[in-house]
């Protein structure tokens, strides 16, 4: 795996695949041979940057040991020119434990999951991230999903040497545009709300984006990345529009407005199954797709494939 921050930064200036975790039918075991097969399939399709143990990987449904093993399987499956960014989070003690284990496994960087503590002080949050950054020479990716990673927090942390990127997963392009201009550190900005807004965020300064649906439709996602890199906005808009039904679907509620994006992961996993990859079941508190929703995934996939006649879906 690449180690220099320069190489790491370059690898983040593209599309990063946030990979799911395949479980056994009873949801009890992680299927490591399937992790490796999925990773190699994506690599062969052109993927080069991978983020296991993120939200798409059901981070909060994994034990500490399972997280470490998922990372090890992903690293072992991929050639040296791939980049692996492992998700870490929870208490500082648990996060540092994971960072040390991931470093031993051979990752290139870690992504610190959005904080979930009930009572958070801004200065305390800054110290939390400083503790994690000081525990390693690995690159650190900050994951912004809400207000806790404020402009002040991002500004303070962006100047730490091994803080290399921010994954911005908030549907607020106005705030994103301001942060790109005001945050003082030299960080890569990743659009964390994926394909649907990839064009808007790229125009406002995003260096790359993350993908979930790329796990089962990698070619059009990689083509979108290529179009964005080339500044081919017309083609990027075509590809974004072709992929949008999946993204709108994944955002749907699962029992009320408090449960947004409830179908995010099971849509990806079922899409993998349809494409001959290993998706498998989700763990609680996620739920499986209904039969109607599974039909929708199938229809959207057929529709996307049919569009290859009018839109080249490959890079």
Q: Per-residue pLDDT tens, the chain, 315 aa: give them.
A: 444 599 999 999 999 999 999 999 999 999 999 999 999 999 999 999 999 999 999 999 999 999 999 999 999 999 999 999 999 999 999 999 999 999 999 999 999 999 999 999 999 999 999 999 999 999 999 999 999 999 999 999 999 999 999 999 999 999 999 999 999 999 999 999 999 999 999 999 999 999 999 999 999 999 999 999 999 999 999 999 999 999 999 888 887 766 778 899 999 999 999 999 999 999 999 999 999 999 999 999 999 999 977 788 887
Count of C-beta atoms within a 10 Å radius of residue 135? 17
pLDDT number for residue 124:
97
3-state secondary structure of 188: strand
Residue 223: CB partners within 8 Å, gap ≥ 6?
235, 239, 312, 313, 314, 315
Rounded to two decimals, what is the model's pTM? 0.96
Hey, which bits of 114-233 come out as E strands? 139-144, 163-168, 188-191, 208-211
The token duo for 103 is 């470093």
pLDDT number for residue 4:
56
Answer positive or negative: Cα dihedral of 206, 143, 43, 243: negative
pLDDT number for residue 252:
87
End-to-end CA distance of the chain: 24
The token duo for 265 is 């992961």
pLDDT number for residue 2:
43
């Amino acid at each position: 795996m690449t180690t220099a921050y320069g190489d790491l930064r370059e690898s983040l200036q593209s599309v990063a695949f946030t990979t799911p975790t395949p479980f056994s039918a009873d949801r009890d075991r992680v299927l490591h041979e399937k992790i490796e097969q999925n990773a190699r399939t994506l690599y062969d399709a052109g993927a080069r940057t991978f983020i296991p143990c993120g939200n798409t990987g059901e981070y909060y449904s994994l034990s500490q040991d399972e997280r470490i093993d998922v990372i090890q399987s992903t690293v072992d499956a991929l050639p040296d020119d791939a980049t692996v960014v492992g998700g870490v989070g929870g208490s500082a003690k648990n996060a540092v434990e994971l960072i040390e284990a991931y470093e031993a496994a051979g990752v290139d960087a870690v992504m610190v999951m959005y904080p979930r503590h009930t009572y958070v002080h801004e200065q305390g949050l800054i110290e939390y991230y400083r503790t994690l950054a000081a525990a390693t020479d690995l690159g650190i990716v900050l994951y912004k999903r809400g207000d806790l990673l404020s402009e002040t927090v991002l500004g303070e942390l962006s100047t730490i040497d091994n803080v290399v990127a921010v994954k911005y997963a908030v549907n607020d392009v106005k705030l994103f545009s301001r942060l790109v201009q005001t945050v003082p550190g030299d960080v890569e900005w990743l659009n964390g709300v994926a394909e649907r807004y990839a064009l808007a965020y790229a125009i406002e300064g995003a260096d790359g984006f993350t993908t979930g649906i790329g796990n089962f439709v990698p070619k059009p996602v990689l083509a979108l990345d290529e179009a964005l890199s080339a500044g081919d906005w017309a083609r990027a808009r075509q590809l974004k529009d072709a992929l949008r039904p999946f993204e709108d679907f994944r955002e749907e509620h699962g029992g009320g407005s408090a449960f947004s994006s409830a179908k995010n992961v099971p849509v990806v996993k079922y899409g993998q199954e349809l494409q001959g990859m290993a998706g498998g079941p989700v763990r609680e508190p996620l739920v499986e797709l209904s039969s109607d929703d599974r039909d929708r995934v199938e229809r959207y996939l057929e529709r996307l494939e049919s569009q290859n006649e009018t839109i080249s879906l490959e890079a």
